[in-house]
């Protein structure tokens, strides 16, 4: 995860590289448990002497596999293929399963950095990072950032360093 070395500019180094917070996977995990339990129960309760029991079991299995793909595998892939990378020069957001989208925000263009956390996010250590850049997009919200306070503080420090012309604290 993160930017490969050949994507980094001279003197640029990776400070943090991470996926969205693991809480995004709670719903898909619960869906996995629910689909497996429901399909197991459905297959178990189809009577053996029922004329179409084989077809009914196959139908339950097909519906279960489709549900598992849509409710668990696709969200997991979205989580796994979403990456945030904070370097000494930019903040990069990479998303996409089949096609890839990558946004780079040069730290010199960042006007302000803030964060929001609900009570549950405070307990989990995640939150929403708000980055205001000097671009047409204005304020950009990045949800489910893990270790939000550390990331926000480091991003703020790097933005301040970039505005002062300092690189890597020198």
Query: What pLDDT does 63 receive?
Result: 97
Spacing of C-alpha 18 from chain mean position: 8
Residue 67 confidence (pLDDT): 98
Q: How far is Cα 146 from Cα 161, in angstroms, rounded to an integer?
A: 23
What is the mean pLDDT, run by run of 10 residues, along the chain of 170 residues? 74 91 96 97 92 93 97 96 93 90 89 92 94 82 94 91 66
- Burial (CB < 10 A; 0-12, 13-18, 19+), residue 90, is buried
Q: How far apart are CA 11 and CA 24, in angstroms?
A: 34
Element (H, E) at 137: none
Q: Are 149 and 115 in contact (CB under 8 A)?
A: yes
| pLDDT for res 124 | 94
pLDDT value of position 170: 53
Q: Which helix (H) or strand (E) holds 72?
A: none
Q: What pLDDT does residue 168 have?
A: 55
Element (H, E) at 127: strand 126-133
């Amino acid at each position: 995860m993160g930017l490969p070395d050949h994507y980094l500019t001279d003197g640029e180094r990776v400070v943090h590289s991470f996926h969205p917070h693991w809480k995004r996977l709670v719903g898909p995990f619960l869906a996995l448990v629910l689909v497996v339990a429901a399909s197991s129960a459905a297959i178990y309760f189809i009577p053996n002497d029922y004329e179409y029991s084989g077809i009914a079991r196959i139908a339950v299995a097909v519906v279960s596999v489709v549900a598992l793909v849509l409710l668990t595998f696709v969200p997991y892939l979205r989580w796994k293929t979403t990456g945030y990378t904070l370097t000494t020069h930019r903040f990069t957001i990479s998303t996409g399963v089949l096609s890839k989208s990558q946004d780079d925000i040069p730290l010199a263009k960042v006007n302000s950095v803030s964060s929001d956390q609900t009570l549950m996010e405070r307990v989990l250590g995640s939150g929403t990072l708000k980055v205001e850049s000097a671009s047409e997009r204005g304020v950009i919200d990045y949800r489910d950032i893990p270790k939000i306070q550390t990331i926000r503080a480091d991003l703020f420090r790097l933005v301040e360093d970039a505005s002062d012309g300092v690189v890597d604290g020198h």
